[in-house]
């Protein structure tokens, strides 16, 4: 295991690696069905979240959908 340093929504975070985007979402207690994930300026489709491995220096942007009326 190694420590990864990534940026999530402009904030530096440490994460135990190896880790996938799905691992990151679980760590942040976010439901993959309610967020859009961008990795290094490219949107990652939900089926690929578990297959996309994070590396030190990666930049992740998360947009969380909130329902309401």
Place of tokens 């009326």: 69
Predicted model pTM: 0.90
Query: Which string of DSSP letters, residue by residue, matches 5-54?
Result: EEEETTEEEEEEES-BHHHHHHHTT--GGGEEEEETTEEE-GGGTTT-B-
| Structure-token pair, residue 52 | 């996309």
Range with lowest mean pLDDT among 40-44, 56-60, 62-66? 62-66
pLDDT tops 70 at residue 69:
no
Domain boundaries, the chain: 2-64
Domain 2-64 in CATH: superfamily?
A: Beta-grasp domain (3.10.20.30)
Instruction: Please tell me the predicted confidence (pLDDT) of residue 11.
Output: 97
Confidence of residue 2 (pLDDT cuts 50, 70, 90): confident
């Amino acid at each position: 295991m190694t420590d990864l340093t990534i940026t999530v929504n402009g904030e530096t975070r440490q994460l135990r690696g190896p880790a996938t985007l799905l691992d990151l979402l679980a760590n942040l207690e976010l439901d993959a069905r309610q967020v859009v994930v961008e990795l290094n300026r490219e949107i990652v489709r939900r089926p690929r979240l578990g297959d996309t491995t994070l590396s030190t220096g990666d930049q992740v942007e998360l947009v969380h959908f909130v329902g309401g009326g």
